[in-house]
Structure 1
């Protein structure tokens, strides 16, 4: 079956195009965004299936833009009558004074096929996978006290229609497996977690080598934390591990490079294109066109093809992430960065897969430069002020560095600083670049979207470490 048919069960495609033309022609820009989505989630805990959910939704978002003003309405009914009712909101806009914005560029790329991961594997097999993981994890070590398994999948079909006749569709699969293990030794209990996934089918996750690796990594982290001591406090050198540690880069720096904050002058990077904003060797890229990664899309949610955007090159600020509205108002090109959580949300400039490129330093040599510091290899929760880049991140796995060697694991370490300053304090960039393995979620303006992160090992000369050790 053609996935687009799910969008047009109650609306004729030709009528949809006519509705878009009629209601959006008076605007500078905008689109009729149609979506059908299905999602499921399994939660296995305490040796049994605790939760199993399945959700299905269809709807549209109608957005008109004139100047800096946006009018947006949505409904979970795809019909001509519902779209006509939503169009009343667009009449609140002032009439457009200039020529309509040109449509997005076309692409022949189709990053994902029509296969739906939710229907490719039977329900019983997904439950059996969770049971296998639980049993295997408990058999690994007598100190395993609790195992939690989360298996999630979703499938989205979208179509974007514009007043000028432009129409484009996309299919977006997404799966994820998370394993959390609690270990106990006497009265002490510690947790480890590991997950992976991406825009593909469940086949990868059903491979025993894949889910056994999830168990091994989660157990290793939990046992490491079981032997941890209180983290020190104070300003000190910090070595950040490769891969998932790029979440700090994403939050503390990436949001400040999004077009809306820079157009409004509220970012630390506003008006600084061409300036040195980072240490030499620092190159930061956002790329939504890398196949199967969590943040990758054929097109963004305005119909613009995704692409590789170099934001910082060798320490020099090169550009921002742009949706259509902010790009037009700033006299720049859209970068394929207009994203929305669902049909019920208007798009805004967002990251896709954001990462720092590798350098030439050996990771072990970076550690050898540090007499006394922290080696952070995994992060959990954090808080970030997007406009200033100030952050507080908690480490879920970290170690003390003593005389250039990785020493005892530490517990309760938090990293405190601000993104723009961290960029200038990078003193070493490893040759071990890695992307995260498919667990990232980005929040902004009340919307959540899947995102990817990555980086090589980094030596930062001076971060404030919050800890509890005397």
Structure 2
């Protein structure tokens, strides 16, 4: 797909931006045109199908710690001029010098495709019906199936006060399969999903969606045999891939630049200090090809990169957007992100992972005297200031003397992010990324992200359960 021309003169828009940012420290014009669709097949029928289009711009002026902004859904010079007048109010009483902007890059981590164009509408809905039929035929205990498919196409343009222009197309797709099994009067549900920045055909190939359906059935089947989770302090082994969402929440947010600049993170002022066990290396990498959390450049035009946050237990740095990096005397890391043209830019994670070690996963599980093996996770919450978190396990097993005793239900992990990092005692050699379903919320904004880790053992965590 070739670049679509913007419906206004770029030179004139750059001049408006340059005037609005005169005497400011930074600023940009972010333009977004998007198409998105979603389908839900539930209870044996197509329950919903939606298609949306949107467009708009956000003009931003940064002066010190203040960000002035104006946005509109009209892509006209008059609207841009009005937004510039509004955003320029941030400069009141401020005299600054514009920071040097990022340089445009030709690097692209995904193809400029539009998933909403192909395959055809009927092909997509027929596919959902096929997945539903396959799941029901795979196990006689299946009593309910829900399948959802979504795709989006975002065309992004960023203009800088110096006239630099950044442009790219960002595709995103996701498929989810959820099932409910019934056996002896007991019902349990589970799901599986996958996605990324690619065309539908990569993610809805039969081998992929059949594996998702089987995985959802497998998890629900395990939960049918589950016993109430025990409660108390115990050893916990976290599985590879998606369980890194605990790392994302309990540690990742605390390493974002804004919290550390304001001194509200538990990691504030600790660069160069030991904050995790030896062997623990955590990175944020938005430059992995086609991953859900990846971007060729962030929403300020800074190329994404591999940012080492913690290396062998030592805190090395934070994730930065341009404003917080400037105020902290650091370099931006390509983590300036925004949900849409209406939203403010802030430092956010992309793909946040803990690197692998040298231990065999089986050896790690076998080392548990009495504890929990948490294979899959649901949602969680964290307090950035304290680092305290709570997470729900959706697939977990009680292990005693190295042997799996039984799957457990309603296990909750309760702990303190920095303490967990210091208490990592074994790191597996089976590093894996998640399947591409992550969504991160911060300050009311939701964005796609990725996570990853190997199997790892934490010496002690509080497990909430039945007792």
**TM-score normalized with structure 2 length:** 0.98
Structure-1 residue corresponding to 2:443: 445
Query: Is 1:20–2:37 an aligned residue pair?
Result: no
User: For residues 233-252 of structure 1, what are the structure 2 equivalents within 5 Å?
Assistant: 233-252=231-250
91-100 or 79-88, which deviates more: 91-100
User: Is this contact kept in 2: 1:24–1:162, CA < 8 A?
Assistant: no
Q: Distance in 2 between matches of 1:83 and 1:98?
A: 22
Aligned partners of 2:109, 2:399: CA distance in 1, in Å? 43
Displacement of 1:171 in angstroms is 1.1
SS of the residue corresponding to residue 11 of structure 2 reads helix
The partner residue of 2:87 within 86, 90, 97 is 90
Q: String of CA shifts for 1:400-450, please: whole Å, max 9, x gaps.
A: 011102221000100000110000000000000000010000000100000
State the Cα deviation string for residues 341-389 of structure 1 (Å, max 9, x = none): 0001011000000000000111111112111100001111212112222
Q: By how many angstroms is 1:89 displaced?
A: 1.7
Q: Hey, what does 1:314 align to over in structure 2?
A: 312
In 2: Cα distance, 1:120 partner to 1:47 partner: 24
Q: Could you say which residue in structure 1 is the equivalent of 2:262? A: 264
Report the more deviating stretch, 248-257 or 179-188: 179-188
| Deviates further, 90-99 or 246-255 | 90-99
Q: Distance in 2 between matches of 1:4 and 1:303?
A: 18
SS at match of 2:4: helix
Does the 8 Å contact 1:26/1:95 carry over to 2? no
Hey, what does 2:385 align to over in structure 1? 387
Residue range with higher mean Cα deviation, 254-263 or 162-171: 162-171
Change (3 A) 1:399 1:288: same
Cα deviation, 1:88-122, whole Å, max 9, x if unaligned, reads 22232225423211001332212233221111211
Map of 2:68 onto structure 1:
71
Aligned residues: 466
For 1:148-227, list aligned pairs within 5 A: 148-227=146-225
What SS class does the counterpart of residue 199 from structure 2 fall into? coil
Contact 1:238–1:376 (CA under 8 A) maintained in structure 2? yes
Match of 1:105 in 2: 103
1-structure distance, mates of 2:357, 2:183: 41
Q: Does the aligned pair in 2 maintain the 1:232–1:468 contact within 8 Å?
A: yes
How do residues 282-321 of structure 1 correspond to structure 2 at under 5 angstroms? Answer: 282-321=280-319
More divergent stretch after superposition (205-214 vs 437-446): 205-214
1:410 and 1:187 map into 2 onto residues whose CA distance is 18
Query: What SS does the corresponding residue of 2:216 show, helix, strand or coil?
Result: helix
Q: Could you list the per-position Cα deviations for residues 182-208 of structure 1 after superposition, in whole angstroms to 9, with x for gaps in the alignment?
A: 001132110111000100000112311
> Given that residues 366 and 430 in structure 1 are in contact (C-alpha distance below 8 angstroms), is that contact kept between their aligned partners in structure 2?
yes
Give SS of 1:423's match.
helix
Secondary structure of the corresponding residue to residue 116 of structure 2: helix
- The Cα shift of 1:330 comes to 0.3
Equivalent positions of 1:338-353 (< 5 A) are: 338-353=336-351
Task: Provide the rounded CA distance (Å) in 1 between the counterparts of 2:94 and 2:303.
Answer: 26
Structure 1 residue 153, shift from structure 2 partner: 0.3
Structure 1 match to 2:226? 228
Alpha-carbon distance in 2 for matches of 1:420, 1:262: 15
Residue 7 of structure 2 corresponds to residue 4 of structure 1: no
TM-score (ref. length: structure 1) = 0.97
**SS of structure 2 residue aligned to 1:211:** helix
> Which residue, out of 33, 37, 49, partners 1:52?
49
State whether residues 118 and 155 of structure 1, in contact with CA within 8 Å, keep that contact through their aligned partners in structure 2: yes
CA deviation map 1:259-280 (0-9, x unaligned): 0000000001000000000000
The partner residue of 1:324 within 322, 326, 330 is 322
Contact 1:66–1:95 (Cα < 8 Å) also in 2: no
CA distance in 2, matches of 1:254, 1:325: 19
Structure 2 alignment gaps of length 5 or more: none
How big is the shift at 1:166?
A: 1.5
Q: Does 1:124 align with 2:118?
A: no
CA distance in 2, matches of 1:58, 1:468: 50
Unaligned runs of 5+ in 1: none
Whether the 8 Å contact between 1:430 and 1:458 is mirrored in structure 2 is yes
For residue 29 of structure 2, what is the aligned residue in structure 1?
A: 32
Partner of 2:379, secondary structure, is: strand
Post-superposition CA distance 1:264-303 (Å, at most 9, x none): 0000100000000000000001000000100000000000
